[in-house]
């Protein structure tokens, strides 16, 4: 609680990395409920602009190195849950 949290995600692709590469981070609270997209990347990072993670997510990944990691600032206990990283690099998924 209170410190930055690194949410690590790495990937490998059999296709060359292109501007079609997409990264989505989703979150589901520990108590269950709706999945929510908290971060999107397609050529540039798009942190969420709504919800509990607004202004608290930063991109630190490097797609050229197969890194899709993000950082969550000022975590609180209620942030506990499942964070899922999804990477698609067409035609490779």
The per-residue pLDDT for range 35-81, each reduced to its tens digit, is 999 999 999 999 999 999 999 999 999 999 999 999 999 999 999 99
Mean of pLDDT values over 85-90: 96
Mean of pLDDT values over 77-91: 95
The CATH number of the domain holding residue 52 is 2.60.40.10
State the pairing for strand pair 36-42/81-88.
unpaired
Residue 83's pLDDT band (cuts 50, 70, 90)? very high
Counted domains in the chain: 1
Q: Is residue 93 part of a domain?
A: no
């Amino acid at each position: 609680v209170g410190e930055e949290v690194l949410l690590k995600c790495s990937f490998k692709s059999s296709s060359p990395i292109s501007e079609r590469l997409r990264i989505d981070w989703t979150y589901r609270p520990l108590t269950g409920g709706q999945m929510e997209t908290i971060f999107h990347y397609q050529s540039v990072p798009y942190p969420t602009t709504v919800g509990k993670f607004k202004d608290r997510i930063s991109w630190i990944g490097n797609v050229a190195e197969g890194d899709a990691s993000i950082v969550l600032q000022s975590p609180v206990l209620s942030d506990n849950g499942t964070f899922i990283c999804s990477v698609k690099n067409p035609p490779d998924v």
